[in-house]
Structure 1
Amino acid sequence: MTRTPDVHERVGPAERMAFILRLVSEPAPRVVSTHQLREKVPEYRDGTNGDRTLRRDLKELRVRGLIETGLTVAPHALNRTGLRLKASMKGVDLRLNTDEHRALALARRRLQRGPLRVGARSGRSRQFDLVLSVLRFLEEEFLLDEGSAGPNGRQLAQDFGVPPQELRAALAWFVANRTPNALEPEKSDQPVLDGFDVVDVDLDDPESDFIVVLDACPSTTAGLGALGRFAYTLEETDERLDLVDEVCRVDDAWGDGPLRTAADKLSMWRSQLTRAHARRRCFEDVAAGAVS
């Protein structure tokens, strides 16, 4: 059980961004208008400052490849104020199965590698990046420690290079579902992610240790899949291919079975991502030339 955050405080960028992702994901992926966001998020209704805050939050989600913007909300609508989850171009044949994910997790443990802090940026949205990285790590660890109490919060904070209380606060908003508490009281009992929890060892001591639990593995649509980030990023893909190479250098026996098929799929996925990144840079260069 966690301590519930004060819902009267202003909602921060990490909570707002999580709320947007959940809104466009449930009950099924759909197009949502910026008008709907303003109705639900008080910070977006604060005049010029609210418009600026909304644009910043949408940009942060867009550069992470999580949403598409500039969409029409209804047929024949003139204003392009809609947004939706960005569909993954990853084919089913390239998705790792449970055995392949488990082989990668075992290789990480064999090499005693810590978790990868993926796409972390400094500034206002760093807690959002931190939570996404922790969720990815917990999904993969779940395959090795299913049924366990979950990792120790202080050790997890050390692994990610952040103070324990910063990690706990970032995770607590997702568990306590602070955004719906502040914006949609009728949803106050619904977690952002099913099976995700932060358990305080001592509720009366704010400095006590805590246990982090995520009852989801990466081959399901729970966890990061529920926030629109099912597929590995290019950085995550490169890191896992490097992990495979390193563990095979240590012991040739690791080069067969699920780890090998995982590496084959990851290599093909990296090729797709690399081509996509090259096309995007080309489009950006053309757009920059047109402006200049």
Structure 2
Amino acid sequence: MMLSIIIPVYNTEKYIYNCLKSIYQQSFDFDFEIIIINDGSKDNSELEIKKFIADYTLINIHYFKQENQGVSSARNKGIEMAKGHYIWFIDSDDTIEQTSGKIISKYLNLFPNHTLVFNYNRVINNQVLRNKMPIEETHLCLKNHEFIGKITSYLWNVLYQTEFIKKYNIRFIDGTINIEDYHFNMQYFFSSFNLNIIFINEVIYNYYLNSSSTSQNKNPKHLLKLADDSLLIHSEIDKKYQLLLTEKRLKEAYSLKKELSHSVMGFFYSLLRFYDIEACQLYYNKYKKENLIPIELNSTGLKKSLFSFIINNKTLFLLLKKYVKFK
């Protein structure tokens, strides 16, 4: 068995060496390869990568440099190069826990031929905050239609089975930089009813929130790009929902629809927080045209039910934007 670790790199000269070193320090019970895709970095990231390769010559590292095409293209290249039975995506400005190798080895031995979803830490200004997993157990085995509300939006706390990625041609949409990880997970977790998932309440990853990250960039032009990506990906997920209905995979279809509704609600909340009223009106109309509105939520929670009701009424939504300030 082998694990392929895919790391896209763009202008992370301050972090990439420590990221790679945290992987080198692991004790895995199996072989692993590190696939580094330099997506046209303009800083000294390449120097740091080559320094690490020179310092740690015994590691199986594949380094590939391409013109800047975006993180989605870089990850797709990594998938193309991967030879492992499992794929683990790691961001170049993060690190993995010192015990990650032992934890992963333990659960891969206990649950072969399963997709593993682990817990993680958020690191904000050197303060480490453990994420709260949506399970109480140490670990929990589920089928794909059973984990409504439990699907991770991230890539780096999941060990993906390469056979499913390649069999169902699961890829990122080139050029997308927003919720591209969410889209990948929706494709993957709903690819096959035969997919078995283990949720494991042990931390393997440290997610650093940096001010330079894509999610923290509030430039107006950048925000419009994020909104366009959201619309594209939500439309693609809706197509997957329609396909599941056609295939009579009803439990999976309804689970996917609920996940999609929650994600669309999240986007509309972002519209209220970060966009002007003209942009709110523009994207409301675009979502309506793609039949992503009205939202079908069926939530028992009062706040979510009320917000979905407001989203489904354009006048109420725009009035909310006009008269209420969101933080």
- In the superposition, the TM-score normalised over structure 1's length comes to 0.30
- In the superposition, the TM-score normalised over structure 2's length comes to 0.28
Higher relative CO (Cα under 8 Å, sequence separation at least 6) belongs to 1
Q: Whose strand proportion is higher, 1 or 2?
A: 2
